[in-house]
Chains A and B, each alone.
Chain A
Amino acid sequence: DTGVSQDPRHKITKRGQNVTFRCDPISEHNRLYWYRQTLGQGPEFLTYFQNEAQLEKSRLLSDRFSAERPKGSFSTLEIQRTEQGDSAMYLCASSREAGQGAYTGELFFGEGSRLTVL
């Protein structure tokens, strides 16, 4: 059983650089989510995909952030012109679509990609 995997696990970059994170969801899961988490806070919703379609995007997400899921499998999250305030853990999660067996809407999370912007 392979869970949700994320790469890289850690990224240190300088302010102004671009970074890209990759997420591979559980293979039979149609839904994929990106969250951001800072120390002492709960995960904050960024965006959500159903297959390859990006169905919802947080208003908190600036134009510097873009996410794709081109073939409905893995997803990438790119941050352009990084700022120190972007330093956080970026969590990816996946879930089944309603009707695929017992469904609660439970999200399965990856270990996260920790970003440090200097």
Chain B
Amino acid sequence: GQNIDQPTEMTATEGAIVQINCTYQTSGFNGLFWYQQHAGEAPTFLSYNVLDGLEEKGRFSSFLSRSKGYSYLLLKELQMKDSASYLCAVKAGRKLIFGQGTELSVKP
């Protein structure tokens, strides 16, 4: 079966750091993606991990442990515009399987 779990909601303060966790159990694994989706808009690509370890991209970093079926997205120096839904997705075969998304609210 396919199961991807992430927290439903998180709240953080402007300027702080937040970590959004994702655990997965899927039949097939060809990489893990993180997408950002603002309300009413299309998901946009943030990061991709296929090997274990940390990938850093500006204020955003993503970590993968394939043996633990675990990833996290780290957002530093939070800004108000980072308020959005963050989607964890596993590439299984040629398609992406998405989690339910984590709604992040950034407060002043």
Q: Which residues of A pack against B, CB within 8 Å?
A: 4, 31, 33, 35, 40-45, 48, 50, 55-56, 91, 104-112
Q: Which of B63-101 contact A (CB under 8 A)?
A: 87, 89, 91, 93-101
Shortest Cβ gap from B73 to chain A (Å): 14
Q: Number of residue pairs across A and B with beta carbons under 8 Å? A: 61
- Looking at A55, A91, A108, A109, which has the most chain B CB atoms within 10 Å of its CB? A109
Q: Are A45 and B97 in contact (CB under 8 A)?
A: yes
When A48-B94, A55-B94, A105-B31 are in contact, do A40 and B100 touch as well, CB less than 8 Å? yes
Q: Are A42 and B98 in contact (CB under 8 A)?
A: yes
Chain A residue nearest to B48 in the complex (CB) = A104
Q: Are B42 and A33 in contact (CB under 8 A)?
A: no
